[in-house]
Chains A and B, each alone.
Chain A
């Protein structure tokens, strides 16, 4: 895509977050969409492009009363929204539509109007992973980590410290699910989920949603909010089965998506003021920092332990508290994007002073997919 050719002009999360037993999945999509439209000063008939994951864009368009000339149902897990932003940028540049609404809504905790878990027993995961007792992401996303720990001498304390530092960020965020400080010992004494993973190394399970509205950079100037420009984007997919990941110490999808986004943006790592790395589990910021090129392989634990990603550090990371402490409804990528947009608008609860470039990196499935969006607040 062309740098800064499109911008985010509307961004909002659902009115409530956390536990929302009185709203269904599609209701969460709609609530977030209406909030984002109010943010942008638009109504449904002003939207001509729709994108969402979890539900079909057909459902979204009909429910809101939108007649789109562009619909994107890309659904590759929690980073789907990064891919939606990328595809929307191209669609707007090519004239397929002018104004794209991207929504997420998930009743992860209350399961109102939500589908069930599980894969068909005839799928490859159903045949070659499910029979061995995997249950949900906590027993799959975590499987490569012992290999990573052995290769680079990473300890359980190192994993715990990721959660500790993110809780420090969450403490500054009034909407965060968990704000009380935790110690490494607290993490290591929390319930065992799937050794070496303890409960506090795993994301929350909540209800919520979010929505973004994108249009051309040229039109963006006429909207009420400060435009947040899309500077570069990347995407890739690797495997539907974590057991078939090429390298257990590094995500190929992360590397490919991240490099593409940095190349498109034409920036170096030193230019990045703010970083979001989708943290469904405590190991993901470690893999992300290395696979995006901020740290050499094996060095992310030192980078985090030396508080470079903490409050006051040189690379503020997951400043909303992340999936570990802020919220995680199942497909967290939308909340990472929302935080990047807030940081670029200068309105985040834990605002990074003077931040001009934000990198937002997502994962889908269990290292299955990846999407990266780099934002700038300068035209």
Chain B
């Protein structure tokens, strides 16, 4: 199996990947409007303000939409698997995989509560996945 395709952080996103390595889901928000955003960038979209801060997200989310991929992707090798977009409690959405449950339409119900988990993929990259909420 070829090595898993992994992100290459840039200076603007490094904090996010440092965060996942430390078991934290880090988002950013505009200090003027308080609005959280994703993916990372050193300014707030729409307002254009550079007055932003990084903060730790709760890790709580809901399942917004997904597909269950049956096509081969050699570095994954686990087809069929769900590719999901989750709605984070803080507002932004992000793509991820849903782990800890069957990859079926019956198990993956839209709007189900989820929580973040972290999986180390290499020395530098830990990916954030989501699992059905236990609480």
Q: Which residue of A lies closest to B97 (CB)?
A: A132
Q: Which residue of B lies closest to A120 (CB)?
A: B8
In the bound complex, do residue B8 and residue A132 qualify as a contact, i.e. CB atoms below 8 Å apart? no
In the bound complex, do residue B7 and residue A126 qualify as a contact, i.e. CB atoms below 8 Å apart? yes
Q: Which residue of B lies closest to A130 (CB)?
A: B5
Chain A residues with Cβ below 8 Å from B80 are 192, 195
Given contacts A128-B94, A133-B73, A133-B76, whether A143 and B9 have CB atoms under 8 Å apart is no
C-alpha gap A120/B85 in the complex (Å) = 21
Interface string of B88-125 (1 = CB under 8 A from A): 00000111110000000100001000000000010001
In the bound complex, do residue B7 and residue A146 qualify as a contact, i.e. CB atoms below 8 Å apart? no
In the bound complex, do residue B64 and residue A194 qualify as a contact, i.e. CB atoms below 8 Å apart? no
Chain A residues with Cβ below 8 Å from B64 are 147, 248
C-alpha gap A129/B85 in the complex (Å) = 10
Q: Which residue of A lies closest to B109 (CB)?
A: A150
**A183 is an interface residue with CB less than 8 A from chain B:** no
In the bound complex, do residue A133 and residue B97 qualify as a contact, i.e. CB atoms below 8 Å apart? yes
Given contacts A132-B96, A135-B73, A243-B94, whether A194 and B7 have CB atoms under 8 Å apart is no
Q: Which residue of A lies closest to B68 (CB)?
A: A195
**Interface residues on chain B, number (Cβ under 8 Å):** 37
- The 14 listed contacts between A and B (C-beta, < 8 Å) are A121-B7, A121-B8, A126-B7, A128-B7, A130-B5, A134-B69, A134-B95, A139-B71, A143-B95, A145-B67, A194-B67, A194-B83, A196-B67, A244-B93
C-alpha gap A71/B4 in the complex (Å) = 40
In the bound complex, do residue B8 and residue A134 qualify as a contact, i.e. CB atoms below 8 Å apart? no
**B39 is an interface residue with CB less than 8 A from chain A:** yes
Q: Give B contacts to A, CB under 8 Å.
A: 4-10, 13, 38-39, 64-73, 76, 78, 80-81, 83-85, 93-97, 105, 110, 121, 125, 127
Q: Give A contacts to B, CB under 8 Å.
A: 120-122, 124, 126-136, 138-139, 142-147, 150, 191-197, 241, 243-244, 248
In the bound complex, do residue A192 and residue B65 qualify as a contact, i.e. CB atoms below 8 Å apart? no
In the bound complex, do residue B67 and residue A135 qualify as a contact, i.e. CB atoms below 8 Å apart? no
Q: Which residue of A lies closest to B63 (CB)?
A: A146
C-alpha gap A332/B97 in the complex (Å) = 30
Which of A122, A129, A192, A248 is the one whose CB lies under 8 Å from B95? A129
In the bound complex, do residue A139 and residue B7 qualify as a contact, i.e. CB atoms below 8 Å apart? no
C-alpha gap A249/B65 in the complex (Å) = 11
C-alpha gap A120/B8 in the complex (Å) = 8
Q: Which residue of B lies closest to A129 (CB)?
A: B95
Which of B39, B71, B76, B97 is the one whose CB lies under 8 Å from A124? B39
Chain B residues with Cβ below 8 Å from A120 are 8
C-alpha gap A143/B67 in the complex (Å) = 6
Chain A residues with Cβ below 8 Å from B70 are 191-195
In the bound complex, do residue A131 and residue B65 qualify as a contact, i.e. CB atoms below 8 Å apart? no
C-alpha gap A193/B69 in the complex (Å) = 6
Q: Which residue of B lies closest to A124 (CB)?
A: B39
Chain B residues with Cβ below 8 Å from A145 are 65, 67
Which of B65, B78, B97 is the one whose CB lies under 8 Å from A143? B65
In the bound complex, do residue A133 and residue B7 qualify as a contact, i.e. CB atoms below 8 Å apart? no
In the bound complex, do residue A243 and residue B95 qualify as a contact, i.e. CB atoms below 8 Å apart? yes
Given contacts A143-B65, A147-B110, whether A133 and B10 have CB atoms under 8 Å apart is no
C-alpha gap A243/B95 in the complex (Å) = 6
Q: Which residue of B lies closest to A127 (CB)?
A: B7
In the bound complex, do residue A243 and residue B8 qualify as a contact, i.e. CB atoms below 8 Å apart? no
In the bound complex, do residue B65 and residue A144 qualify as a contact, i.e. CB atoms below 8 Å apart? yes
Chain B residues with Cβ below 8 Å from A248 are 64-65, 85
C-alpha gap A207/B119 in the complex (Å) = 41
In the bound complex, do residue B69 and residue A194 qualify as a contact, i.e. CB atoms below 8 Å apart? yes
Given contacts A127-B8, A128-B95, 6 further A-B contacts (CB under 8 A): A126-B7, A133-B69, A142-B67, A147-B65, A197-B67, A243-B93
C-alpha gap A83/B115 in the complex (Å) = 42
Q: Which residue of B lies closest to A243 (CB)?
A: B95
Given contacts A142-B67, A146-B110, A192-B70, whether A131 and B4 have CB atoms under 8 Å apart is yes
C-alpha gap A192/B104 in the complex (Å) = 13
Q: List the 4 shortest-distance A-B pairs measured between CB atoms, nearest first.
A: A127-B7, A243-B95, A147-B65, A195-B68
In the bound complex, do residue A126 and residue B39 qualify as a contact, i.e. CB atoms below 8 Å apart? no
In the bound complex, do residue A150 and residue B110 qualify as a contact, i.e. CB atoms below 8 Å apart? yes
Q: Which residue of A lies closest to B127 (CB)?
A: A131
In the bound complex, do residue B83 and residue A133 qualify as a contact, i.e. CB atoms below 8 Å apart? yes
C-alpha gap A122/B12 in the complex (Å) = 11
Chain A residues with Cβ below 8 Å from B38 are 244
